[in-house]
Amino acid sequence: MREGETVILVRPRFEEPVTPTDFGVLHEDEAMVVVDKPAGLPVHPSATYHRNTLTFLLAQRYPERTPHLAHRLDRETSGALVCARTLEDERRLKRAFEDRRVDKSYLAIVEGRLPADEGRVDLPLGRPDEGLHLLMEVREDGAPARTRYAVAARAPEHTLVALFPETGRQHQLRVHMAALGHPIVGDKLYGPEGPRPFLEYVDGGGEMTEELTERLGHERQALHAHRLTLSHPRTDEPMELESPLAPDLRELWASVGGRLEA
């Protein structure tokens, strides 16, 4: 380029993938908002999503004092997500998550029948030396990662399991269940085919085909942030917040012959 030149860049209009635009609220007060996040809604802006994100929707719903995320969930994961109403509340909540003073439990539908009713996975995790940069794997030299689990219900060829992460590594629950030989239904990265479904999904422009959905067993990973136990950021009052199992996962569980208690 030379001084004085004008460069004009012409590109197609950016169109974001369609996402859910409505979310429930499990709790709301002057310090915090606990969102019931639907599956498919990203929490943060990215190269693919800008307006179709939870942060943008929060700004639209609460324009005078937009809540800040205190932690995060994957786009495909549904359930309870804590947001702070002020910067001081955000600092206190984030510190509580970092210090492991927040107990989290998830519900997942996994392939096969877990042999034990409960157990603990203690397998360190790290990034592979080659391949997709977003993958995690079990590595002897990885960071400590521990997950407790308890069977919630059984179906003929699937298990509904409660997962309790004791550490917070990326994709920890998904990798640990896959390491047990019981990957989460619908997981595009850690299912029986490895990351192949994820690559097909990306190459297809982020659209789920019927063939891919049939292979995976569900159009998204069957993982739900079910319950949070924490102290209120201002009063230290103990709180337990619960998000009911998402409707699509209730339908999935019924479709594989599972039953839920009333």
CB pairs under 8 A, 24+ apart, for 12-15?
14/50
Contact 224, 246 (CB under 8 A): yes
How far is the C-alpha of 145 from the C-alpha of 122, rounded, in Å?
Answer: 6
Three-class secondary structure of residue 38 per DSSP: coil
| Strands annotated E in 125-192 | 125-126, 137-138, 146-154, 158-165
Q: Is 187 a catalytic residue?
A: no
Q: What are phi and psi of 49, to 5 degrees?
A: -120, 135
Three-class secondary structure of residue 114 per DSSP: coil
Catalytic residue, candidates 22, 29, 36, 74: 74
How far is the C-alpha of 240 from the C-alpha of 231, rounded, in Å?
Answer: 9
Q: Beta partners for 148?
A: 120, 164
| Strands annotated E in 68-201 | 68-69, 78-84, 103-111, 118-122, 125-126, 137-138, 146-154, 158-165
Q: Which residues contact 102 (CB under 8 A, 6 or more apart)?
A: 71, 82, 96, 228, 229, 230
Catalytic residue IDs: 74
